[in-house]
Structure 1
């Protein structure tokens, strides 16, 4: 199947297809993704409290364990990618959900650092399996010309599930040991259900027989594909920025700007609502433009929020709120563009039979961003809070420069 970005001029002149994705298995695909995201969202707001309460470790120790385990799974990713190419993404998604279910069940027995590390390794590995296999399954299940819409759907159900899960957790989870045990059981059950739902997805054939060892060494080298490395690097910079905003904005708004505590909830509600409502229609619209340009402009749009935060210090309360909400709206539109164009490039640039290996290689960058963001936020907020926003702005500009001069992909590109 030809990826969405591998279209020629004739393809671009075809009549516009409906915004909503179509194709066999679309219902199962959406529901399984939603349940998967609900489990993640249910857990995410309470993750640090969950780990500290059940393990008895300090917050700093838990943070160190989480960073180490995220980094520890990265060396396995190329093997994961080759596995996806050989057996297809559906079995890997099922395995990823099962691994996370085992991890959450194991958390209930955590009493020391060693057990916590083991369970966190299961969770980190399951997350990487899911993030590698999901976009590949989307483009293989999508009918010709619809892969961009299926990729957008993965973001819609993820954001809707994440927000819904967080809301349910805030209403149902009690800050106590028994409450966190319920949280662990619920998450284990959600990933068991996710694995069962994945069984209902259509089976996709692997892209071809495994290449010979000599051929594999010569072709499966994503790090030699200059354009792909630049896109993955730009995505990692923008992911670092997004994760930093998520954790730093509430702290900065409350401590540095002395804004009311509800402002963080309002800003992230605006973000979640826009991501859920506009991912599909905006994604369809953006398919008309060069994806590298869309990615670059989307990254630059992040700066609207950074500027709003930096300027808010000298404003009245009403002007502060208006400025921050406006900045968040522009930032979210940029986030929509980045997620759509980034995934279009990451799935469209690799040779088709090596897409799994390339997507797994991209997880090196994503994992690095996931590990770096909390450290960056903690260090800069503690010592130079304002400089955090200048640093994120510089990273967004660098990301835009990395991809702004990329050629438009006209099919699977070969490694340089």
Structure 2
């Protein structure tokens, strides 16, 4: 549908106050998350006293809670606005991380972690919805690419800042990590209050079907097919975080010390290339190309991982570096499609809902992905070749699945002009 938004240069993808605010918010958010990821697991086991089984069970329950919360939060955002819901989620996360710093016992841990994960899983679609409210099309994809680049810088800085605190290895230092993350969410919420998001001015309502109480996105079979396809490709996250270190340790001659270096290579490539990858001047068929290229590159990654089990140390390291390169390229193309698809195909008035439904594929992957990838590693090279076959099938299916969705894309409607929140109609 036609979009009349802020003037060029005023959105988060470029200059202007919204761009600066989103850059700072993304940096603060990822900085706090980097602190938490660096020391959270050690704190829960050594500080809280959880066993590995209790930790795993708590995280599994939290993952289920996050899955169930995503779509209802999206429905709420379509009714109340994405920005106020995103601000509420930031404050929710601040409260959850504060509670997590003083939690005792497995039941309390599972409860607080579930509340935290509900907000964590619901926040990314809301961020994308706010950005889409400020701009559309290629500019929105470019904005998300810049936000992701800044977030990767923040993750790295957070991990570095956590290093001296973890070296002290005292309970209070781990609590500082969690409370520092909580503070970052409060500051982010305050900054988001200063962003003026366009809204529809008064005017004739856009005709359409009567809104049902049930999420329409969950009944859209074509959209769910694309959501599932994207969820398969998001497996690249678990391939890197779980599959790569396990494979290096158990099945290759590469030194264990190469694992953090391979992670650093992935981070550096994402920071350096994400924005460049998003600059695709050919908008027609962009989503189909992005999904197809992502699938083929991930298929190639599976082949390279399988081959890395054979040669000696130097040969294995070369193949692993190439595998990280193809995996990162697949990750970049998948991200571009993931930002554009739900925004491009969401019906009028249901953007946040469709973004939340689309994010369910990511959530399911986070729950089932570790099981699938550990099974792949256990099978040895045959497991990676089996995964290659899955990605190859995804590449072949991407074009027909996307074309089916494009044929069912809602017809453009003439929309009334947009106003900033707070302006009179």
User: In the aligned structure 2, how far is the partner of 1:207 from the partner of 1:100?
Assistant: 32
User: In the aligned structure 2, how far is the partner of 1:56 from the partner of 1:259?
Assistant: 34
Structure 1 window deviating more from structure 2 (26-35 vs 220-229): it is 220-229
Using a 3 Å threshold, how does the CA distance of structure 1 residues 379 and 331 change in structure 2: closer, same or farther? closer
What's 2:272 paired with?
Answer: 277
What's 1:151 paired with?
Answer: 144
What secondary structure does 1:215 align onto? coil
User: In the aligned structure 1, how far is the partner of 2:178 from the partner of 2:64?
Assistant: 23
Structure 2 alignment gaps of length 5 or more:
4-12, 412-425
Q: TM-score, normalised by structure 2?
A: 0.85
The answer on 1:200 being equivalent to 2:194 is: yes
User: In the aligned structure 2, how far is the partner of 1:170 from the partner of 1:187?
Assistant: 15
User: In the aligned structure 2, how far is the partner of 1:25 from the partner of 1:31?
Assistant: 10
Q: CA deviation at 1:26?
A: 0.8
Structure 1 alignment gaps of length 5 or more:
4-19
Question: How many residues are treated as equivalent by the alignment?
Answer: 399
Q: What are the Cα deviations for residues 303-352 of structure 1, in whole angstroms up to 9, with x where unaligned?
A: 23222221122223222222211221122112111100222112111113
What's 1:94 paired with?
Answer: 87
Q: CA deviation at 1:218?
A: 8.0
Q: How does 1:91-170 map to 2 (within 5 A)?
A: 91-142=84-135, 146-170=139-163
User: In the aligned structure 1, how far is the partner of 2:366 from the partner of 2:240?
Assistant: 13
Q: CA deviation at 1:80?
A: 1.0
Q: What are the Cα deviations for residues 243-300 of structure 1, in whole angstroms up to 9, with x where unaligned?
A: 2321121121123213212211221111111111111121012654521222121122
What secondary structure does 1:285 align onto? coil
What's 1:325 paired with?
Answer: 321
Q: Is the 8 A contact 1:152 1:280 kept in 2?
A: yes
User: In the aligned structure 2, how far is the partner of 1:355 from the partner of 1:224?
Assistant: 15
Using a 3 Å threshold, how does the CA distance of structure 1 residues 171 and 376 change in structure 2: closer, same or farther? farther
Q: How does 1:7-406 map to 2 (within 5 A)?
A: 21-22=14-15, 25-142=18-135, 146-174=139-167, 175-205=169-199, 215-217=210-212, 220-285=215-280, 288=283, 290=285, 291-381=287-377, 383-405=378-400, 406=402
Q: CA deviation at 1:357?
A: 0.8
Q: CA deviation at 1:84?
A: 1.0
Q: CA deviation at 1:374?
A: 2.4
Q: What are the Cα deviations for residues 27-74 of structure 1, in whole angstroms up to 9, with x where unaligned?
A: 111111121111112212333222223331111211111111111232
Q: CA deviation at 1:361?
A: 1.3
User: In the aligned structure 2, how far is the partner of 1:412 from the partner of 1:163?
Assistant: 41
Q: Is the 8 A contact 2:23 2:147 kept in 1?
A: yes
Q: Is the 8 A contact 2:126 2:352 kept in 1?
A: yes
RMSD across aligned C-alpha pairs, in angstroms? Answer: 3.0
User: In the aligned structure 1, how far is the partner of 2:357 from the partner of 2:17?
Assistant: 29
What's 2:419 paired with?
Answer: none
Q: Is the 8 A contact 2:249 2:256 kept in 1?
A: yes
Q: TM-score, normalised by structure 1?
A: 0.87
Q: Is the 8 A contact 2:31 2:157 kept in 1?
A: yes
What secondary structure does 1:341 align onto? helix
User: In the aligned structure 1, how far is the partner of 2:135 from the partner of 2:360?
Assistant: 26
User: In the aligned structure 1, how far is the partner of 2:256 from the partner of 2:403?
Assistant: 45
Q: CA deviation at 1:23?
A: 5.4
User: In the aligned structure 2, how far is the partner of 1:408 from the partner of 1:41?
Assistant: 40
User: In the aligned structure 2, how far is the partner of 1:376 from the partner of 1:176?
Assistant: 36
